[in-house]
Each structure stands twice: as structure tokens, then as C-alpha cells.
Amino acid sequence: MTRVSQSLAGTGSDMGSFVSSTQTVPDLGAVPQHIAIILDGNGRWATDRRLPRTAGHRKGVETVRSTVESCARLGVRYLTLFAFSSENWRRPADEVSLLMRLFISALQREVTQLHRNDLRLRIVGDRTRFDRKLQAAIMAAEALTCNNRGMTLTTAVVRGDDVGRPIGEDELAAHLSMHYAPEPDLFIRTGGEQRISNFLIWQLAYSELYFCDRYWPDFDQGALMDALAWYRRRERRFGRTSAQLAGTAA
């Protein structure tokens, strides 16, 4: 990663819970403060090129690196990447094993650069199914970057936040694994699928949903800028009318 110089208030270890957009209208800007992405299409990218699916996952790691760099430069405060879901455990054992090895190697290879660039790393979800080596690598990476003040990079690895009883919105918010970040302004899914697949289903209620036909390994900086241009054309009303928005702007 190249050097990224940022100092963004509210992204360090002292972050509290953010208020839901169902209760208040968030601050809006040309650049989303929180982007959430489902990294879809690695296997299909490889299959189209007559390569093993594992080649697509390795290429996808490179795309993660470039996307993190681009978002940090643009001033995005939170970037959340959906890398591995509970349902992905159903995949062939050799592919799951490769994904776990890639995860460990990426952590070990990239965390020093993340720390050098003042970025904060968080891994959310249920980690209990990971082996001890991977769990230790996650804890070490989070500990190293926990006091950094730049962009917060979150990797969602498996589903968490299961709740066994009815509770209110205020009570729930503080216990979500993503309580430290505002709701995503922009959700991106690559690979041509148009669903959210159990990813941040509570927080995406008022997010702008952008679906891209490109497979994740081909999601380059130009594709990211296309998504941001689309986002800027959206009218984010949060229950208000267009006339109300016009009055606010005036």
C-alpha cells in the first residue's frame, strides 16, 4: 500500500454507538462516509479464464488492497468488506481451506502497512470456527491497529449478532458487531448478483444499493469511481420529500 495521510475524528478506539437513520437523518456528503462491499465473483472470474477457483481468490486479495488504498485517499471513513459468510462453510473443503490460508497470509502481509498508514482493522462475526492460528493472527492485527485514527477497515467473516429474544432498537444498536460505525451510505455488490445475502441486514435499511456486473477481481479504481458517481446522483430523502430537500438546500 502507498502512504495514506489522514486523521479522521471518531475512528479510533474510543468510538461509541451511532444512531440509526430510522431515528435521525445522517450527515450527507459527496463521498460516502461508510461503504460496504460484497466481494463476489472470484471463482467465476477464474472459471471464465480456465483457471482454478483459487486463482480468483488470490486475484481478489489484490483488488482488496487497491480498493482500501483508493477509499482511504478519497476520505471514506469506514470500509466494510464481506469476505466469508456462515453459508460459505458449505463450499468444497479444499476451497475453504485455501480461503483460510489466504486470510492468514493477507493479515500477516498487510497489517504492517495498514498500521503504517494509520488505518484501523476490525474483524467482525463469529470466529469460533477458525483454527487457533487464524484467531491469534486476527487478535494480533486488531491489537496493533486499535488506536489508529484513519479509515476503519472492517472484514465481516461470518454471521454474528444472533439475538434470542425481542428487544428494542436502542438496546440492539449497542450490541451489534458494527456498533462503532455509522450505517453504510453505499452498498456495493460485484459479480452480477442483486441481493444482500444476509450481510448487514439491519444496517442496510437506508443504504443506496449498487450492483455491478464486474467480478470482484476486475473491480478496479475506475469501477469504484463509477459507483461513487452513481451514488452522487442519488437523492437520499430518508422519508422526506424532494421539496423538503430543496428547502433544506436553499
Q: pLDDT for 194-215, tens place per residue?
A: 998 878 887 888 899 999 999 9
Q: Flag whether 17 is in a domain.
A: no
> Domain count of the chain?
1
* Catalytic machinery residues: 40, 88
Write the pLDDT tens digit of every residue in 164-185. Answer: 444 455 545 555 667 788 889 9
CB proximity list for 200: less than 8 A, separation 6 or greater: 36, 80, 82, 156, 178, 184, 187
Nearest to 58 by CA among 37, 36, 43: 43
Q: Which grid coordinates are listed for 134?
A: 487464524
Range of the domain at 242: 34-160+174-249
**Mean pLDDT along residues 30-34:** 91
Q: Which grid coordinates are listed for 47?
A: 472459471
Q: Flag whether 239 is in a domain.
A: yes
Q: Flag whether 220 is in a domain.
A: yes
pTM for this prediction: 0.79
**Mean pLDDT along residues 110-137:** 90
Q: Which grid coordinates are listed for 211?
A: 450492483
Residue 7 reports pLDDT greater than 50: no
Q: Are 226 and 247 in contact (CB under 8 A)?
A: no
Nearest to 189 by CA among 86, 78, 64, 38: 38
Q: Flag whether 64 is in a domain.
A: yes
Q: Flag whether 45 is in a domain.
A: yes
Q: Mapped to the 3 state alphabet, what secondary structure does 201-215 carry?
A: CCCCCCCEEEECCCC
CATH number at residue 123: 3.40.1180.10
Q: Flag whether 154 is in a domain.
A: yes
Q: Flag whether 212 is in a domain.
A: yes
Question: pLDDT: is 124 or 161 the higher one?
Answer: 124
